[in-house]
A and B are shown apart, each in its own frame.
Chain A
Amino acid sequence: VTTFNSPQLPPVTQRLPWPFVASALVAFAALYASGKFFVLMPVLAVLLVATAALPWRLPSSKILGWVVRVAVWIVVLSISPRRHTTGMSLNFGGSILYEPDYVHLFGYLAAAELVLRAWTFAPRGPSRGDALLLTALVLTAASNTTDRMPIQVLAPAYALLTILCLRAFDRSPGGRATDLLAPPHRSRPPLLALRAVAAVLAVGLAFSAVFVVTQYEYSITNWAMQFARSRPARQTEVGLSTSPQLTSVFNPQPSMNRVMLVEGPYADRHLRALAFDTYLNGQWLPALAHRQFELMPPPDLHRGTAGARLQFTPLVDTFELILLPLESAEVEFPGSIARDAQGCLLARAAPEDPHYAATVLPNSTFQGPLCLAPDDALRQRLLAIPPTLAPAVVSLARDVAGPGDPASRVQNLVRHLRTQHAYSLQYDPGDGEPLNDFILNARAAHCQYFASALAIMARAAGVPARYVNGYYAHELFGKNQTVVRDRDAHAWTECYLDGTGWVTVDATPDSGRPDQLFEQPSRWRHLLEYLQDLPRRIRAWASQLTLQSATVLTSLPVAVLLVVWLIRLLRTPRKLNAGARSYAERSAELSAAARRFDRVLAQVGHPCTPHRTWREHLVRLPDAVPVDREKCRTFVDAYEEARFGDCDERALAAAQDVLRELEVAPSPHQQAKEEPVPAGRP
């Protein structure tokens, strides 16, 4: 009497495919080499290899699995080497993203988990995704090292073995990967050739990827840091000059790079960087390097007056200068500030990522910490007329200024410059004193000429004046943010009016101011800048979090996951019970016989899973397994008759007889030596 074909189930074999074991070993070796030769890695490697030789497995019980897992964690945590104890660091500014020791620790845990799964008795074996993910995690952990040599050698080998390993996975009719223990499909020659080409290509790709990464590592890191760091490396192309010179062009490469973000009520503002008192042969002095800066005592920074509070976020390095409007009242800075006689501020002992704030008054004549009344010597310099200046300029200035008070004299001069001169980015000063030609011939030029001309003409009219450079903040972004770009570099004049103090005077015609000169930036640029700012915003937001709110925020997703898991648990109560409860008890003799037969199967390296019948298991045993199939079948027949038929003493006795014969059969290991074909492999 024939039987039905049983449902199509993959055959039982207990060995992991060799390419998978080999790729895992390569990953282990990489971690061993990069993790200062931690003794656990060779132990794990030996254990993984031993799965092929030893027949027994851990039972697939979940509780036991977790007990063993936790024990392994404790062992790994207690013996793994840890030299730095600074904790997990996520230092974007420096070179380290994560402490290598902690990353290696995760690698050890992943390796231990892989070995544990290989030793656990699962009917379908470890799944492809899990197994490959674990080896990949081990290799990734090994890659977090400064010693690249082992990774460079081992990574291509890992890639090749992983590809070979993919071949060893079975595919179900639905196209989904099933298990690791299924035998691979037999390949036909054309397919084999195609696979060989694919393998060679993949190894080549792996090699070239390693080459590219090592060759351009520095640029890649720098590029990535652009996004991660709020303040990129020092830029040489800022429009600011530390000792400006009157040349044919000003800020020759006006770029769209952002220099600073200003948060607070919007207004057009002159953010001053440096003020200069001495004019010599077309150049304004003193240069930044030759200035005397003195530390400011904190009370000097705080002239308690109500006004608009502005927050400044520098995005590039502006020579450590603190850019502020002249009418700033209170300055808050995380480090200390030094100031020179011209009221220019320099950051001292500033943190990596300085933000500062200032209260700015709408009253343009307010004398804050930036407005220092000149002493006599400085007043002399602020009134000095350069010897190269033509006498005609002086007399013109006095004529234009008229006899009124200083404020009206300056106003007349500004009106004259604005009406008599046009704006032009290109101007050829020719030989000799550039200001003579500009002023006397009413030339068109850029803001440097207007600022210099006003300063010199004001001096000729008896008003102390200086040349100032900095940025003209005007570009509104969002509701209350002003973006200052490199192209907004500007120059203007500050005049000291007796009785009033320092005031900002901009003689450049409206058409020459940066807000009128350039077009608005595109939406794409705004989007890109927004994305660039995201890490900085997130960090700023995270730095404000208290310990409690941070705890709540991190535990919230965990709580949500827990609730979802609970709901799923409640929705499937029967599913959890299915198969968990044991079947009705059979007689002691039957139980003993079943246990003994299971032991016989385990001894030949092919224990039967609890999810299949012995009959199916016997049909699917590989040919090389040294066990008498005929006797096994006789046993199963007799056992089943005793178990499921009428409890027959005769059948049970027959089963026990066959069992005894099976148990005294020659040791499987001796037979295995005679048959070198590995079980379960084609």
Chain B
Amino acid sequence: MDTSTTHMFATTIARLESNLSSVIRGKPDSIRLLLTSLLAGGHALLEDVPGTGKTTLAKSLARSISGVFRRVQFTPDLLPADITGSSFYKPQDGSFEFREGPVFANVLLADEINRTSPRTQSALLEVMSEAQVSVDGKRRELPKPFFVVATQNPSEYHGTYPLPEAQLDRFAVRISMGYPDAQSEIEVLLSHQDHHPYEDLDAVVDCEQVIAMQQQVRQVKVEPAVADYVVRLVQHTRADLRLRLGVSPRGSLALYRTSQASALLQGRPYVTPDDVRALAIPVLAHRIVLDTKSKYGGERNEQVIREALEKIAVPR
């Protein structure tokens, strides 16, 4: 891949990044992870307590891309048809007309995804992995790019349906926002003086550019040794006796693809082991399932991945 092309993309991404950080203060890591998963063609799960800016981040991203943004507030009574869309009877000519649901968007914000029933959550499965909807036996393609940003609040369990493993596996990264530091929080307060800074946002990239970048990500070189490293990490989790479920091949593919995206984000046409290591926890930690003994013995998913990173030799 040409270095100048790479630099061009890096500038575009830097613009996108500065646009987002004018709204989301002090969270460059979260912004980069979100962009990484966008460029890798994956979806992102934002997990944190309320009020840390999850929804704002997703909305700002949608606004920065001049695409269609839709938001679904997930509630227990939401039905699959409410998000995919359904056919309506037209009395004029006696035919059925398909009305598109909110998933027909470029950026879909699935807010509080764990508040809806497993049935509706499952309706998202096909949408997320195939980027298509099948209603009344008819397949409908979603617009491109299609990027799902889901949010959930991990600290509250009443009236929630925890996401099944299959659903979690479809998110490329899980991002924990965390509280901003004091300086950033002051900046947040001052920037909200007369209006929400979100309202000042302009689109800096269009959908075509995003699609081009997504295609460019696939051109980033991955040395066989680095791919081997990815597989070793993943296989280590499968052999770990503390885990009921290790990382799936979908997980290793996600780590591979996000590492490529991360390299492109840094204007580098090749992946280094550092890219893999930096993404291992956000990409892999939510895919593994601890067995009951380890779970209640105080083990954490992140800790297991961290130990795998500490145990496996790095290619040089």
Contact = CB atoms under 8 A, between A and B. Distances in A.
Contact of B28 (A2, A7, A611): A2
B8 interface: no
Interface in B259-316: 262, 265-274, 277-281, 298-300, 303, 305-306, 309-316
A175 B224 CA distance: 38
Interface string A608-632: 0011111110000000000000000
B206 interface: no
Given A174-B303, A578-B236, A644-B270, A6 B277 contact: yes
B32 interface: yes
Nearest to A645: B270
A611 B225 contact: no
Given A1-B267, A613-B274, A7 B228 contact: no
B203 interface: no
A8 B229 CA distance: 19
Contacts of B28: 2
Contacts of B226: 644
Given A575-B239, A579-B312, A646-B270, A5 B278 contact: yes
Interface string A215-231: 00000000000000000
Nearest to B279: A4
A613 B228 contact: no
Interface string B1-34: 0000000001000100000000000001100110
A644 B272 contact: yes
B52 interface: no
B29 A123 contact: no
B85 to A, nearest CB: 38
Interface string A42-56: 000000000000000
A572 B239 contact: yes
Contacts of B315: 583
Given A9-B309, A578-B239, A594-B316, A613 B277 contact: yes
A7 B266 contact: no
Nearest to A612: B314
A440 B33 CA distance: 114
B66 interface: no
B238 interface: yes
A433 interface: no
B170 to A, nearest CB: 23
B4 to A, nearest CB: 15
A612 B276 CA distance: 12
B221 interface: yes
A100 B289 CA distance: 51
Nearest to B314: A613
B299 to A, nearest CB: 7
Contacts of A611: 309-314
B135 interface: no
B186 interface: no
Contacts of B271: 644
A583 B225 contact: yes
B278 A4 contact: yes
Contacts of A172: 303
B221 A645 contact: yes
A610 B298 CA distance: 28
A6 B274 contact: yes
Nearest to A175: B298
A7 B238 contact: no
Given A4-B29, A7-B306, A579 B239 contact: no
Of listed A5, A176, A571, A640, residue having the most chain B CB within 10 A: A640
B223 interface: yes
B235 A578 contact: yes
B303 A613 contact: no
B274 A574 contact: no
A643 interface: yes
B312 A641 contact: no
B81 interface: no
B151 to A, nearest CB: 21
B241 interface: yes
B311 A640 contact: no
Contacts of A520: none
B296 to A, nearest CB: 12
B278 A3 contact: yes
Contact of A643 (B32, B223, B279, B303): B223
A191 interface: no
A613 to B, nearest CB: 5
Contact of A584 (B225, B238, B280, B314): B225
A3 B310 contact: no
Of listed A173, A610, A645, residue having the most chain B CB within 10 A: A645
Contacts of A1: 10, 14, 265-267
Contacts of B280: 7
A173 B314 CA distance: 25
Given A9-B306, A174-B298, A578 B232 contact: yes
B123 to A, nearest CB: 33
A450 to B, nearest CB: 71
A640 B272 CA distance: 7
Interface in A570-591: 571-575, 578-579, 583-584, 586
A594 B273 CA distance: 15
Contacts of A6: 274, 277-278
Of listed A174, A572, A578, A646, residue having the most chain B CB within 10 A: A578
Contacts of B187: none
A611 B310 CA distance: 6
A595 to B, nearest CB: 10
B82 interface: no
A190 B268 CA distance: 49
A641 B221 CA distance: 11
Given A3-B266, A174-B299, A583 B236 contact: no
Nearest to A8: B306
B202 interface: no
Nearest to A568: B241
A124 interface: yes
A573 B266 CA distance: 38
A579 B232 contact: yes
A176 B299 CA distance: 10
B126 interface: no
Contacts of A644: 221, 223, 225-226, 270-272
Of listed A5, A7, A124, A175, residue having the most chain B CB within 10 A: A7
27 contacts: A1-B10, A1-B265, A2-B28, A3-B278, A4-B29, A4-B278, A6-B274, A9-B310, A174-B303, A176-B298, A572-B239, A573-B239, A578-B235, A578-B239, A578-B311, A579-B232, A579-B236, A584-B225, A594-B316, A611-B314, A616-B274, A640-B272, A643-B316, A644-B223, A644-B225, A646-B221, A646-B270
User: Top 9 closest A-B pairs, CB basis?
Assistant: A575-B239, A4-B278, A645-B270, A574-B239, A610-B313, A583-B315, A583-B225, A579-B312, A644-B223
Interface of B: 10, 14, 28-29, 32-33, 221, 223-226, 228-229, 232, 235-236, 238-241, 262, 265-274, 277-281, 298-300, 303, 305-306, 309-316
Given A124-B310, A645-B268, 14 more contacts: A1-B266, A5-B29, A7-B278, A7-B309, A174-B299, A572-B239, A574-B235, A578-B312, A579-B232, A611-B311, A611-B313, A613-B316, A640-B272, A641-B270
